[in-house]
Structure 1
């Protein structure tokens, strides 16, 4: 069954994700402009964009475990998912900067310094930035696969930063943000375990 799914996925191109993926942004802004997002549409848009970005980060983290444990190969979609995650996080940030604070840099800086959830959120964005810039074949060739892979481990720290940002953003200890945090920690532990096994297997192979 999994083999048939993988065979079918080989025929599915990744490029439509770049077209379909950003469409929810247009829809969210439409809902906001037509007063369908409650009393504070800007906050609603910000939070939904951030949540979609976090969901896409989680989706990217799940690709390796799915291939390893379920035999489902989604590697060809990983770059598109990662870039869409960065896109949503960026639009989330720009919505806060431009629409919410109206580029009041004194207020923005005060918020970054004094509000921990904004501090950790900005940290997560900065961690994603070099990943987005180097998510292309030219960067892989210039950096070399080993260095490129090391750089892209920043995804783990960015994912944790995003989850903590979400937990601190909401008021009180709500279930949904904690589920995302627990899920991301679990996925990171699984990735670490997979990597450790690869290192051990490689070491034994060289020793043999």
Structure 2
């Protein structure tokens, strides 16, 4: 079953993912303009797009465990998922800057004074070099350093989860669930090795 699915997935191109990624933000923008996102459509759009980014980022980190434990090979889609996650998070930030706060001095003040914004910006900053080196020429040029650099995604997803928890203010179930899922995915990616005991022959 898994082998048949893997063979089918090998025939699926990655470019439709990039096109499909444009649909949710376009819908949220339309919904905001037409009054379908409540009394504060900008905030609603900002939060929904940011949550999408966190969801896709976590999904990209699930690729390796799915292959390791279930045999499901989604490696060809991992780069696309990572770039789409970065796109959503960048768009989330853009909505906050352009449509929400708008005042440059206030934006800078918020980054320094509000911890959840500081943490969110730190997570986004970690993702910039990942997106900037997600093409074949950079992979070849960086060699082994490319894998080391892309481990920045681990603290980035944790910072994203913490940002979500702090944004909601208080211990709410949904953001805590996302943070817990992010932690569990990272733990599954790096299972603890149990040292084997050596027995001496008497």
State whether structure 2 residue 163 is matched by structure 1 residue 165: yes
1:81-135 per-residue CA deviation (whole Å, 9 max, x = no partner) reads: 0000000000000000001111x11111111111111000000100000000000
Q: How many residues get paired?
A: 195
Equivalent residue for 1:66?
A: 66
TM-score (norm 2): 0.94
Equivalent residue for 1:79?
A: 79
Structure 2 distance, partners of 1:84, 1:164, is 20
TM-score (norm 1): 0.91
Matches within 5 A, 1:138-157: 138-144=137-143, 146-157=144-155
Gaps of 5+ in 2: 196-202
**What secondary structure is seen at the aligned counterpart in 2 of 1:72?**
coil
Matches within 5 A, 1:38-187: 38-102=38-102, 104-144=103-143, 146-187=144-185
- CA RMSD after TM alignment: 1.4
Structure 1 distance, partners of 2:91, 2:3, is 37
Kept in 2, the 8 Å contact 1:22–1:84? The answer is: no
State whether structure 2 residue 37 is matched by structure 1 residue 37: yes
**What secondary structure is seen at the aligned counterpart in 2 of 1:37?**
coil
The ranges of structure 1 where at least 4 consecutive aligned residues each deviate by more than 6 angstroms after the TM superposition are none
Shift of 1:172: 1.7
Shift of 1:21: 1.1
Gaps of 5+ in 1: 201-208
Structure 1 distance, partners of 2:21, 2:95, is 18
**What secondary structure is seen at the aligned counterpart in 2 of 1:135?**
coil
Structure 2 distance, partners of 1:155, 1:22, is 22
Structure 2 distance, partners of 1:153, 1:13, is 26
Structure 2 distance, partners of 1:126, 1:75, is 24
Shift of 1:171: 2.6
**What secondary structure is seen at the aligned counterpart in 1 of 2:62?**
helix
1:30-86 per-residue CA deviation (whole Å, 9 max, x = no partner) reads: 000001100000000000000000000010010000000011000000010000000
Structure 2 distance, partners of 1:101, 1:177, is 23
